Structure 1
Amino acid sequence: MKRTLLSTLILSLLTSVAGAADNAATPGAPAHPVSGIDTQYIDQSVRAQDDFFTYLNGKWLKTTEIPSDRSSWGTFIKLREDTTPQLRGIIEADQKDTHKKAGSDAQKIGDLYTSFMDEKKVEALGTRPLAGELQRIRALKDKKGIPALVAHLSMIGVATPYGIGVAQDAKESTKYAAYVRQGGLGMPDRDYYLKLDDKRMADTRAKYERHVANILGLAGDKDAAAKARAIVAFETELAKAQWTKVELRDPNKSYNKTAVARLGELTPGYDMKAALAAAGVGNKVDYVIVGQPSYLSGLDRILADTDLATIKSYFEWQLLREYAPYLSKAFVDENFDFYGKTLTGVTENRPRWKIGVSVVEGALGEALGREYVAQYFPPERKARMEELVKNVLAAYKESIDGLDWMGADTKKEAQAKLARFTPKIGYPSQWRDYTKLAIKRDDLVGNVERAATFAYNRNLNKLGKPIDRVEWGMTPQTVNAYYNSRMNEIVFPAAILQPPFFNAQADDAVNYGAIGAVIGHEIGHGFDDKGSQSDGEGNLRNWWTEQDQTRFKAKTDMLVKQYDAFSPLEGYNVNGALTLGENIGDNSGLAIAYKAYKISLHGQPAPVIDGLTGDQRFFMGFAQVWRSKMRDAAQIQQVKTDPHSPGQFRANGTLRNQAAFYEAFGIKEGDKMYLKPEERVTIW
């Protein structure tokens, strides 16, 4: 499965770790490097030994306001904001290009954006573009027609109670398989439906019901309030049957290979064979992998107990919810009122042009990315990143050999997996072909439907074909990175390969602390509590001795306990079990990056720049990457749904476990950043 560094991270560096014998510097390194540290934001009223995150970023935290159209602000979001105007320039150039060919990527990019930006036409159309889809739902005569309706709605991007998709078989990674997984909620997580003892959750649920009624009312429903109550009650039943996000982190528990002929044992009252056939996979597979068997059985019961009218209303709601951003202003505003204001605390919607850029990215991401790379990603940046990834992998290799808690047999397996890691940097070696996607200049909703259908069919058509090993799960303009366990690959898009993650003018220390730790983080996902359950071929397989597995779990249990104690907001703590994989990635990534940095010095002392030692700049480079602020509503959503810890704990929580950090900043017993040596967690 794909594992990302953030809800939006990563980049490139300079000098070689395993350098040449003559210790030559990496070509392109600055002759007079700067520190790369934003010392202007240091708050001297805070001791580094008590709260390093606030010490380094305190003045920024005090003076920075979160933009009104953002739920949070920090290094990641700012970089995304800096990239968006660049993408707009590319899109508008395609829009104005009078020589572009019909059917070309440029035509599609320009016309899709035009269809979204034509507010006058969108306003005049109202819900008419959805008339056919609404009629399809209303024409449902009995529950036997639900599988076909679910398949169609899924194809055009609408949320349904379960999803059928294609991915590598987690235990036979050389082939694609069909997966069936839980879904269908309109709020971010089951807790929003079930935690009614939490006043904030109860209030959000009440606002959600009003929102559902408002959207149905805008579509002309005269009985919207009653239908909204029934819809929320239906979704609440789905939430009760769903697995928690912590349960979903167990890849073996979520792997339930089931013969198509035996699916009826899970859903005796619901024809899953018909569902597979309608989805387009029925005659292509003899088995599926069920993610949550108990949920499917629960869904079978829920559908049997729910009247057809409510089920139809639910599907209408999900259709309108998905397409509200592409309808008239009344729908756009109502959609933003709940999903923006209520759920994230944002007070103002983004400018329409920014949303339009996102629409183009969602439908034609690699086509846009190809132009972005040509203009904004110099070839030398990719070369430097390739060198850095090689160096951090070398540091991991050395680290594994030196582990005192892992035995020889498990080390051999770990090294075999490490040797098979595949890095992908900047952009795909083979660009996606959008020939079959039709885009029309005057048909926004149709464009969105066709783009969703194109993506659906592209995924479906993988069945029976060789694994596409050059495919990317992110576009080059995405400010993020990820690890994919089934491909055993680490992927770093072009857009993240810029400051503050990589600073071409800076000394090596800050770059190793920033991008080096990010690279180490992604590699670390291959050896976290989930990734460590897959081997170098990408197959779920236990390659651990029982003794080493016990030792590993003891360390990860300590990490869970550490992060459980962190609270970004009164009454809401970090979920150490949910965030465990990312916390392992952060802690391991920084430790390995530090080793890589030391190797890169070839035994020579690091220069002192701006009065800061190399080790100090290394750790400061790491902590400044996590500079961020978040609105309360968005913070609640994060701790409930996001496998990443809040930024301040990704910084402080990680640093407290690094022995070299204690030496660099004189951390001693009694300081708030201090942990006793036996309480510090060192894994890789």
Structure 2
Amino acid sequence: MIAGTVGSNIAFAAEPAKAASASTVLLSGIEAGHSDSSVRAQDDFFRHVNGSWLKKTEIPADKASAGAFIDLREATIPHLHAIIEGLSKTKNKTGTDAQKIADLYASFMDTAHIDAMGLKPLQGEFAKVDGMTDKKQISTLMAWLNRTSIGAPYDFQIHQDNKDSTKYVLDVSQSGLGLPDRDYYLKDDDAKLKDFRAKYVKHIEKMLTLAGDKEAAKHATDILALETELAKVQWTKVELRDPVKAYNKVEISKLDTLTPGYDWNTYLSELGVKGKIDYIIVSQPSYLTGFNKVLQETSLDSWKTYFKWHILRSAAGQLSKDFADENFAFNSTTLRGVPEQEARWKRGVRLADSGMGESLGKMYVARHFPAASKAKMEKLVSNLLVAYKQSIDTLDWMSPATKKEAQAKLATFMPKIGYPNKWRDYSGLTVTKGDAVGNLRNIRSFAAQFELNKLGKPVDRDEWGMTPQTVNAYYNPEMNEIVFPAAILQPPFFNAKADDAVNYGAIGAVIGHEISHGFDDQGAQYDGLGNLRDWWTKEDHEKFAAKTAILVKQYSAFSPIPGYNVNGELTLGENIADNSGLAIAYKAYKLSLGGKPAPVIGGLTGDQRFFMGFAQVWRTKMREASMIVQLKTDPHSPGEIRANGTLRNMPGFYDAYKLKEGDKMFLTPAERVSIW
């Protein structure tokens, strides 16, 4: 269960740094052409560093945003495409990864065959739904929907038991909405959300009409009504952040107390886990009870319409052009403001990447990840861990007993850099040329079975939750691990030829960010073994809460677009990580100097370059509709706020740029938050 990532769920972006010439190698990490000297660093550091980039950059027509993450992700796509094209030109033996990747891509690219098939690939799935004669059969259908990642009122995941990290557990949680968040259904005082809701109904009607539904308008209204009832009983994004509240161990024999009359035995039998487990974790018990009430009060015909809708929307991208275009028009253009669909070859690459990511990753790493990058990254991680070790003993909000526990947890942190030690086996995955929808279902079923197969087996500590070609990083509290895939280890995040100051400000802050998740308001509830255990004193909790309450207030005051503020509670963990990560990266940078002064380069001190390195990775430009999605659903603050909001709390930043009262970035010492 990945708890903390550095990148947003709404993809950010940044231009990859241009290759440095030999004469400017130390400056290669600073992209001076992006700065705007007309904006004072003391007033708006984000625009001071990125202002020219913001003025000249147009968000690509097929993107929701532009900035440091997306450009790296975009730069990775041609690399993966070249690999796939190479496999496609080779005669591959049936059953090999090469055959599967090539045929998966080819099937998606065969638009003539896909268009000719129309809705035929889904007829058997629709028949599953139409064949139901009693709501008691829904539990059987739900198991199939969950195994194929088709939207349903609840879903499962397999992860380590939060109170016994040596074993895997099945966790059931809320799901089943077609809009990004419950607020889209329930907020009547927000004109934009009401408009999205109305357009969602029209979208469903169009899709059902294309599917031959003679009552598409009525059914669209029924679907919205049903999803609204589910939204009413769902937990909020803030409530979902509490790991203690979400840990509800329920014996199989007692599930009926939550959902009287619901056939869990059949559901678990269809999943293939009956008899293998004697309890499950129910993340939101009140939601399951609410779902069961909605189930009983809603007609079987309405449920059939709902399920067929989610079957249709889940496969829309693999269906004929009319379905794919309408699916894009709503989910990308309406909801996120993206005017143009991505080139089909890119979508084909993403499909292959999502289906066989580690196999592609093995080939990607061999071509694009030098051993020197891994070695330098290992040194950076080591230095950051040393800085944390030293800092723990100086914290004003931890008691001696808690500091001892914190040191023990830090000592067990497991860094993973670049790529996994062992690669995933895809021999159980079937890919058939000419069957785009079937391949999608097989990919998802294979992934679900991979997870279900973990039950009853020892925990695999070598497993990765991201592929090497993912431009992101994460902390997993159950493993107590920090993971940095190969693809994020590129400019502007990491440049092996760059000045250390810039690397510490960029990738160093990312490393510090991920380590700090082990000590934020969520991660700190897990001990070094990955178990949910309160190892803080009551006084520690009170002192930490006082600091984080100020952070909540700070970030809740930011309004990236009129009428929409950052949710300081939802983003708290990531904001803690940004502030802590940068503070520790700064200390690690100072340690790396070994007591020597940093050189002045291009008129910039080492500290100034450090903070510029941090700010330039957050350069971001986002469409308004996409920003609304982020503010409603994403635990990360928008990029501009991640830069300025963090720097305002950094004493070193005040010294580097001589901030004084009256400067717009200035906070009084009493207003600043210092956690690390």
TM-score range, shorter chain: over 0.9
The alignment status of 1:247 with 2:239, answered yes or no, reads yes
Question: What CA distance in whole angstroms lies between the structure 1 residues aligned with 2:289 and 2:338?
Answer: 38
Aligned to 2:43: 50
Residue in structure 1 matched with residue 55 of structure 2 by the alignment: 62
> What amino acid does structure 1 have at the position aligned with 2:61?
S
In the alignment, is the contact (CA less than 8 A) between 2:29 and 2:491 conserved in 1?
no
| Number of the residue aligned with 1:464 | 456
**1:147 paired to 2:148:** no
Deviation at residue 407 of structure 1 after TM alignment:
1.1
Cα drift, residue 279 of structure 1: 2.0
2:6 maps to 1:5: yes
Corresponding residue of 2:31: 38
Other-structure match for 2:514: 522
Question: Is 1:574 paired with 2:566?
Answer: yes
Change in Cα spacing, 1:330 to 1:345, as seen in structure 2 (3 Å) is same
Shift of 1:9: 8.9
- Taking structure 2 as the reference length, the TM-score comes to 0.97
Query: Which AA in structure 2 matches 1:6?
Result: G
Q: Which residue of 1 aligns with 2:386?
A: 394
> Which of 350, 370, 373 does residue 378 from structure 1 map onto?
370
Say if 2:289 is the partner of 1:297. yes
Q: Deviations over 1:558-580 (max 9, x none)?
A: 10010000010000000000000
Q: Choose from 279, 298, 301 the match for 2:271.
A: 279
Shift of 1:165: 2.6
Instruction: Name which of 62, 84, 96 aligns with 2:89.
Output: 96
The one-letter code of the counterpart of 1:540 is L
Distance 1:628 1:298 in 2: 40
1:169 aligns with 2:169: no
C-alpha spacing 1:31/1:637, structure 2 compared with 1 (3 Å): closer
User: What letter matches 1:4 in structure 2?
Assistant: T
For 1:77, the equivalent position in structure 2 comes to 70
Q: Secondary structure at the match of 1:423?
A: strand
Correspondence for 1:451 among 425, 443, 446:
443
What letter corresponds to residue 201 of structure 1 in structure 2?
L
1:118 and 2:119 are equivalent in the alignment: no
The Cα shift of 1:529 comes to: 0.5
Query: Which amino acid is the alignment partner of residue 641 of structure 2?
Result: F
Equivalent in 437, 440, 443 of residue 432 of structure 2: 440
What RMSD, in angstroms, separates the aligned Cα atoms of the two structures?
1.4
How far residue 282 of structure 1 moved from its aligned partner, in angstroms, is 2.1
Q: TM-score, normalised by structure 1?
A: 0.96
State the Cα deviation string for residues 250-306 of structure 1 (Å, max 9, x = none): 000000001111111100132223222222222111111100000000001000000
Give yes or no for the alignment of 1:563 onto 2:555. Answer: yes
Deviations 1:350-374 (A, max 9, x none): 0000100010011101011110001
- Deviation of 1:200 (Å): 0.2
Runs ≥4 residues deviating over 3 A: 29-32
Distance in 2 separating the partners of 1:351 and 1:269: 48
Q: Aligned-pair distance for 1:32?
A: 5.6
Q: 1:423 matched to which residue of 2?
A: 415
Q: Determine the C-alpha separation between the residues in 1 that align with 2:333 and 2:633.
A: 18
Structure 1 position 31, deviation (Å): 10
- Number of corresponding residues: 666
Structure-to-structure mapping, 1:171-570, within 5 angstroms: 171-570=163-562
Structure 1 residue identity aligned to 2:33: Q
Deviations, residues 107-156 of structure 1 (Å, cap 9, x unaligned): 11111000000000000000101111011111111101000001111212
Q: Unpaired segments of 5 or more residues in structure 2?
A: 14-21
Matching residue's letter, 2:244: N
Q: More displaced, 501-510 or 625-634?
A: 501-510
> Do the aligned partners of 1:163 and 1:183 also contact (CA within 8 Å) in 2?
yes
Cα distance in 2 for residues equivalent to 1:54 and 1:172: 47
Residue 605 of structure 1 deviates from its aligned partner by 0.7
Secondary structure of the 1:483 match is strand
Secondary structure in 2 matching 1:258:
strand
> 1:612 aligned to 2:604?
yes
In the aligned structure 2, how far is the partner of 1:280 from the partner of 1:611? 65
Q: How far did residue 445 of structure 1 move?
A: 0.9
- 2: distance between equivalents of 1:117 and 1:418? 48
Q: Cα distance 1:9–1:531, how it changes in 2: closer, same or farther (>3 A)?
A: farther
Q: Structure 2: how far apart are the matches of 1:41 and 1:352?
A: 31
Contact 1:164 1:279 in 2 (8 A): no
- Paired-residue identity, %: 62
Looking at structure 2, the residues matched to 53 and 219 of structure 1 have their Cα atoms a distance apart, in angstroms, of: 48
- 1:20-65 per-residue CA deviation (whole Å, 9 max, x = no partner) reads xxxxxxxxx9996225211112212211111110111111111100
Q: Give the SS at the match of 1:491.
A: strand
**Alpha-carbon separation, structure 1, partners of 2:158 and 2:474:** 19
Deviates more, 1:200-209 or 1:503-512: 503-512
Contact 1:34 1:505 in 2 (8 A): no
- Cα distance, 1:137–1:663 mapped onto 2, change above 3 Å: same
Report the alpha carbon displacement of residue 232 of structure 1 after superposing the two structures with TM: 0.5
Counterpart contact for 2:12–2:65, Cα < 8 Å:
no
> 1:657 pairs with 649, 652, 660, which one?
649
Check if 1:666 corresponds to 2:638: no
Contact 1:156 1:453 (C-alpha < 8 Å) held by counterparts: yes
Flag the 1:376–1:35 CA change in 2: closer, same or farther, 3 A: closer
In the alignment, is the contact (CA less than 8 A) between 2:158 and 2:451 conserved in 1? yes
Which residue identity is paired with 1:66?
I
